[in-house]
Structure 1
């Protein structure tokens, strides 16, 4: 019934990417502009993922596992660049190494069937992102940035990451652990709603942020 919604995720990403391009004048540094670049990378992945089976005859898990690997590395490095305390930045490097190790262990463990979603790597990545995001928010709330945190595109981007990944993780684990039959209609609906919330956060960040808070 709701299977068609999955195809609309691309339009959400396109809208967010276009708003990001229009907002480039108030995205001064490489970190801020990286957000726009990564959204367009996500758009490319959505297009490739959509046609991958048609092109190769294989399921598109290969595409999305690759995207998961790249995206979590990008998220960790982004949050690390936002952290100020040395011990927090060191913790981010530790999280990065832990995720990379977990991903390749997941790949080795399921080497007989790599054409599946790396659920455990995803879950570990989300836990690490939540930890680093909490450190980022602690720094904000313990500094003068608390007065204008909503004017920073980075706050909204990190919020968007959390809004999508935190609710989606138990949904994925429930399917994997309890062997719940994946209903494509329900899956597409959940995926669309979470993407809608995430891209809405990105768009709000681009529109509400101010240049002086985006360095």
Structure 2
């Protein structure tokens, strides 16, 4: 019944990407502009992933595993750039190394056929992002940034990442461990709802943020 919904995530990403371009004047730093690039990267991946099987005859796990590698690496490096304490930045570098190692260990595990979803790398990536996001929020709440944190596009972008990945992780693991039945309709509905929440955060960030807080 809801199988078609997952394919509309492309339009959600496209819409938030357009809002990002319109709001570019409020994104003065390269780091802020990078958020828009990440959203447009997801637009391209959604379209390539949709046609990949038709083009190649292969399942599109190749596309989305590559997407996971790029985006999770980008999220970790983004969070590192937002952290101000030296020990927190060191933790971020260690998280980045751990994620890269876990990803390539996943490739070795599936060396005979890498066209699988790298579930454990995804799980590790989400946990690392949660840890770094908590450090980021702690730094905000212990500084004068607490007064205007809602005016920062970075806060809303990090919130969007968490809103999608934190609920999706247990759902994905439950499917992988056969704790719940894989129903394409339910899967599409969950993915669509989480994408609505995530892109709503991105759009609020672009529209509500102020230039002086986006450096």
State if a TM-score over 0.5 links the two structures. Answer: yes
User: For residues 129 and 179 of structure 1, what CA distance do their matches in structure 2 show?
Assistant: 25
User: For residues 208 and 64 of structure 1, what CA distance do their matches in structure 2 show?
Assistant: 31
Matched with 2:177 is: 177
Q: Does 1:51 align with 2:31?
A: no
Q: Does 1:20 align with 2:14?
A: no
User: How far 1:125 moved relative to its partner?
Assistant: 0.2
Alignment of 1:1-215 (within 5 A): 1-178=1-178, 180-215=180-215
SS of 2:164 mapped into structure 1: helix
Divergent runs of 4+, >4 A? none
Tell which deviates more after alignment, 180-189 or 18-27.
Answer: 180-189
User: How far 1:180 moved relative to its partner?
Assistant: 4.0
SS of 1:174 mapped into structure 2: helix
User: For residues 20 and 209 of structure 1, what CA distance do their matches in structure 2 show?
Assistant: 11
Unaligned stretches of 5+ residues in structure 1 = none
User: For residues 178 and 210 of structure 1, what CA distance do their matches in structure 2 show?
Assistant: 45
User: How far 1:181 moved relative to its partner?
Assistant: 3.6
C-alpha distance after superposition, 1:127-184 (max 9, x if no partner): 0000000000000000000000000000000000000000000011001113644211
Unaligned stretches of 5+ residues in structure 2 = none
RMSD: 0.8
TM-score, normalised to structure 2, is 0.98
User: For residues 179 and 200 of structure 1, what CA distance do their matches in structure 2 show?
Assistant: 30
User: How far 1:48 moved relative to its partner?
Assistant: 0.2
User: How far 1:7 moved relative to its partner?
Assistant: 1.3
Say how many residue pairs are matched.
Answer: 215
User: How far 1:123 moved relative to its partner?
Assistant: 0.2
TM-score, normalised to structure 1, is 0.98
